[in-house]
Amino acid sequence: MNYIKRKSWELKESFVTDEKFFNDRRKFLKLGAALAVSTSAVMELAAKEFTPLPNLHYTKDLNQNNLTPNSYEQITSYNNFYEFTTSKKAVKEKAKNFRSEPWQISVDGLVEKPFILDMEKLLKKFALEERIYRFRCVEGWSMVVPWIGFELSELIKYAKPLSNAKYIRFETLYDPKQFPSQRYGLGSIDYPYVEGLRMDEAMNPLAIIAVGLYGHTLPPQNGAPIRLITPWKYGFKSIKSIVKITFTDTMPLNTWRKAAPYEYGFYANVNPDVDHPRWSQKRERLLGKFFKQDTLMFNGYEKEVADLYKDMDLRKEF
């Protein structure tokens, strides 16, 4: 681990989060002197948050949209992963012993030949790149994440789907031993978690298979070891911990649509003009910000994806 980073992390842990100590200005200044650094330098160091050192090789995103990523801490401490718990702040702790190694993904359905992909092999087969994307949960919060992954279209080409394959269906691991909600039937959804895309959506260059964030392999709470990311759609489309990919000619019944069809559709495109039946989708709270910001059509990716839906009534097919 990088020395400076570790030092800042330790400072944060041992001193600054200790409010009593922090508030005792005299002691604090004495400490500053002892360390032979100014108070502001201590505070600046302390303000830096933990980010793991990269363990993946990847090409950097040029970040032409000039997005400012949320911190690693924010992205990995506030999660939706119902298999562990419905409490966003508790996922990280409940998921910490998740075994995502070894991991296999079966690819089947309307393909030339079904096959099984080893996670290790997959990481060698596809060149990784960083994608800094906006991410908008249907609940009204959002973040900016530097994902590491590869285009879903690459995987599709590799899988050689038949011409009658119109949709792609994804399934999360079913393992009640590891996922408490699968054991106890919690979260008011069916398991395994299922998602799907129309083939032309799946082929869009924005759709990626993510295997990391901040240059490091995905932590369990964010869907280790492999998940989908479709940044123009609400977060629930971005299915985690995938073990099965099926090419099909019928629209997959995705988990949230199955649970509440009047509230969640198949497309789930981010759309500030189509409210959720129980709340407005016009605005969102970016993690770490106090004031809400406007939600953008297709989450700011209109130029890239609007064409996919030009003949659709987005109110009916939400």
Ligand X SMILES: Nc1nc2c(c(=O)[nH]1)N[C@H]1C(S)=C(S)[C@@H](COP(=O)(O)O)O[C@H]1N2
Q: Which residues bind ligand X (CB under 6 A)?
A: 79-83, 137, 172, 193, 222-223, 235-236, 238-241
CB of residue 104 to ligand X, shortest distance in Å = 17
Q: Which is nearer to ligand X, 109 or 134 (CB)?
A: 134
SS3 call for 110 = coil
Q: Taking CB within 5 to 8 Å according to partner kind, which of Mo ion, ligand X, none is near residue 82? A: ligand X
Q: Taking CB within 5 to 8 Å according to partner kind, which of Mo ion, ligand X, none is near residue 196? A: none
| Residue 69 engages Mo ion in binding (rule: CB under 5 A) | no
Is 158 labeled as ligand-binding?
no
| Residue 223 engages Mo ion in binding (rule: CB under 5 A) | no
CB of residue 237 to Mo ion, shortest distance in Å = 9
Residues in region 236-255 near Mo ion by CB under 5 A = 236
* 110 touches 176 (CB < 8 A): no
User: 176: closest CA among 187, 162, 160?
Assistant: 187
Is 17 labeled as ligand-binding?
no
Q: Give 71: exposed, middle or buried? Use CB within 10 Å, 0-12, 13-18, 19+.
A: middle
Spell out where 119-250 has E strands.
129-136, 141-151, 167-172, 194-198, 208-213, 216-217, 227-229, 242-248
Q: Taking CB within 5 to 8 Å according to partner kind, which of ligand X, Mo ion, none is near residue 81? A: ligand X
SS3 call for 234 = coil
Q: Which is nearer to ligand X, 172 or 178 (CB)?
A: 172
CB of residue 149 to Mo ion, shortest distance in Å = 19
Chain position carrying tokens 């080409």: 157
| Residue 80 engages Mo ion in binding (rule: CB under 5 A) | yes
Is 82 labeled as ligand-binding?
yes
Dihedral sign computed on CA atoms, order 245, 251, 252, 254: positive
Q: Taking CB within 5 to 8 Å according to partner kind, which of Mo ion, ligand X, none is near residue 204? A: none
Spell out where 230-306 has E strands.
242-248, 283-286, 293-294
Dihedral sign computed on CA atoms, order 20, 23, 27, 31: positive
Q: Which is nearer to Mo ion, 95 or 165 (CB)?
A: 95
Q: Which is nearer to Mo ion, 58 or 191 (CB)?
A: 191
Q: Which is nearer to Mo ion, 135 or 179 (CB)?
A: 135
- Measured distance CA(60)–CA(274) in Å, rounded: 34
Cite the annotated binding site by residue number: 79, 82-83, 137, 172, 222, 227, 238-240
Residue ranges for the known binding site for Mo-molybdopterin are 79, 82-83, 137, 172, 222, 227, 238-240
